[in-house]
Amino acid sequence: MPLIAIVDWAASPLDESDAAVERAVIGDAASVKRFLCSSDADFNDEICGADALIVWHNTPITAAGLSRLRNCKVLVRNGVGFDSVDIDAARNLGIPVCNVPDYGTEEVADHAIALTLALCRQLFPLDEEAKRLGWVIRVQPKMRRLRELVFGVVGLGRIGTATALRAKALGFQTLFYDPYLANGVDKAVGIARAKSLDELLERADVLSIHCPLNEETRHLIAERELALMKSTAFVVNTARGAVIKKTAILDALSNHRLAGAGLDVVEDEPLKTHEEAQTPNLIVTCHAAFCSVESKNEMRATSARIARAAVLGNPLENIVNH
């Protein structure tokens, strides 16, 4: 019987050991087995001989690891991003890589807005003050009226659009930058378009990141870009950590060149030191924006459906390395 291997991150497993969601979808088309790995260097002979792999997001898959796969008909990245997989090496080896691009659209957009509201209304400092049994609103200068603010979106894909429409509904003046979208998209969704990233950075009171991580977007936001922003601005990232240079944003926060940041993702996550964790005006949320009971079940079921199709020789959906 074919084997579908579920590869989860050993440091913090997100799957369940019984893989009940996957087994319900795959049925008797293949056997299903879960493995815990820190990287593809941990792949044992059973994984290397599997007919399909479902890989969670914190396990990097390199060219060396891919070259050891003997029977792999598909590698499914259990999530939206696929930057953890060397997709070019997989293509050269004839291994399709698929992702699940739509499962957490609502959750990530909601999470971006939640971080935005926490920053604009200073919920965490106010909560801390109240729980000290105090009642002094020290953060009043940072508390903002939403309809006076420009909400800037980098990347107007599925999640960027969902986030922008939520921000617009809340009364933000919503603006986006995405050089890959055709003219007229701004008219279709009723959101203003910035002509350049610099224009967006200079105008935004809230900057929300929604682009994939690749060679073009790695450190897209670094020292120069942060210096263009208002000192009263907030940065929100629910995309990929390395889109923002970690040292640059932590330094900007520490030196009060930004009013605050809400980061669901950080470069080289998780945070590594107590000094990083104590950065002022920083909210960090464990790469959890995608999480909900519903979204995880949807993601796992979609990944299982793609893996099942592969072992049965049926067409695949969501291939990212044609």
Catalytic residues: 240, 269, 287
Using CB atoms within 10 A of its CB, is residue 28 exposed (0-12), middle (13-18) or buried (19+)?
A: exposed
Q: Is the dihedral of CA 159, 163, 168, 169 positive or negative?
A: positive
Helices (H) and strands (E) in the chain, counts: 13, 12
Cα–Cα dist 89/64, whole Å: 9
Question: ∠ at Cα 57 (54, 63), nearest 5°?
Answer: 75
Element (H, E) at 7: strand 3-9
Q: Give CB contacts under 8 A, 24+ apart, made by 98-102.
A: 98/74, 98/306, 98/316, 98/317, 98/318, 98/319, 98/320, 99/318, 99/320, 100/76, 100/298, 100/299, 100/302, 100/303, 100/318, 101/158, 101/318, 102/158
Cis amide bond preceding 270, omega within 30: yes
DSSP class of 315: P
Place of tokens 């049926």: 314
Q: Do residues 71 and 51 touch, judged by C-beta distance below 8 A? A: yes
